[in-house]
Amino acid sequence: MGEPLRIGMVGAGKISGAYLDTMEQLDNVTLTAVTDLDPGRAGAAAARVPGAEAVGSVAELVARPDVDAVLNLTIPAVHAEVARAALAAGKHVYGEKPLAATREEADAMLAGAGADGPRIGCAPDTVLGTAVQTARKAVDDGLIGRPVAATAFMTTAGHERWHPDPEFYYRPGGGPLLDMGPYYLSALVHLLGPVVKVTGVASRPRAEREIGSGPRAGERFAVDVDTHVTGVLEHAGGALTTLVMSFDIQAVRLPRIEVYGTEGSLSLPDPNGFDGPVDLHPAGGEWETLPVSAGYAGAGRGVGLRDLADAIASDRPHRTSADLARHVLDVMLTLLDAAREGCSLPVASSCERPEPVGR
């Protein structure tokens, strides 16, 4: 094994702790630098890793010779800006989802990398865990026959109940689809392939929200995006997915993702996690939990960095690719366009299904 991939982290907010937990367990990546708008948060994150340093700006971080790749954990509105700075400095990029706020920003990012330049990876990496990968193997092995349909539901009353600074979830680039949709859509592409057409409707039942926790509890703020989105996705192989993404539902008894085939059905756990039971109901049989058969075991946020580092070292494609993230972004934005226009629209982009993760 060669030297670890040296990581500079931009953004030391809430999600950074999960990444740091994972990186502490990996031997092919190491944290060397951290920057954040709050110097105290940057210092606290850097202090977790011997030898890591807090730095004052993105420009300083991407210029460091001990940074090979930039972990971009900023808010969605500046994902593209930070990524472009890193790419311009010749650094690989792995970012939180979505890839960017607009197609134009995403395309500029990909152009900045070029065909043979630095690599771009993008969350979610939950699809590399044992749940989605075990389900994918079941689909690929024909356990449910030919896939004909799927359902995907993400429903909550809203992130303002628990997040102390939730406004960005309700600004352009946020909303339930762009926030949580990447987990579900990335899983669906792994399971059923890319999406070729969408039909959508959306609504915004409340003009304001109230912060429910933290020092700002009780403050109200405006909602600038649709907070309930329903769509039908047509996959390249012909399967149809019914999708519901909502910040307006108090309680449900819905599954997270199910896939229905000519010879059976699969039920998956929350794709916001890495593992959990995958249940199969063969035609004429009963529900049974499948044994784990694929995926990174015991994975957490940041396993995508492990996959990226391995891919660079072995000169293979990484699984959390920019092409997949660009397609997922395009599907989401096209679905919102279809909702505004009250019609069905083709999805202009496509992508290859990433290579599966074996055991």
Annotated catalytic residue 14 = no
Which helix (H) or strand (E) is 232 found in, with range?
Answer: strand 228-235
Euclidean distance between CA atoms 325 and 95, whole angstroms: 10
DSSP-assigned letter for residue 4: P
From the candidates 14, 97, 137, 197, give the one annotated as an active-site residue.
97
Distance, CA of 159 to CA of 214 (rounded, Å): 13
Question: Which CA distances in Å does 31 have to 5, 18, 201, 300, 306?
Answer: 9, 14, 43, 16, 13
The span from the CA of 82 to the CA of 100, in Å, is 10
CB-based burial label for 247 (10 Å; 0-12, 13-18, 19+) = buried
Given the structure tokens 């085939």, which residue do they identify? 261
Sign of CA dihedral 23, 34, 120, 336: positive
Q: Mapping DSSP to helix (H, G, I), strand (E, B) and coil, where does residue 105 land? A: helix
Residue 51, Cβ density class (10 Å: 0-12 exposed, 13-18 middle, ≥19 buried)? exposed
Burial category of 114 from C-beta neighbours within 10 Å (exposed 0-12, middle 13-18, buried 19 and up): exposed
**Which residues have a catalytic role annotated?**
97
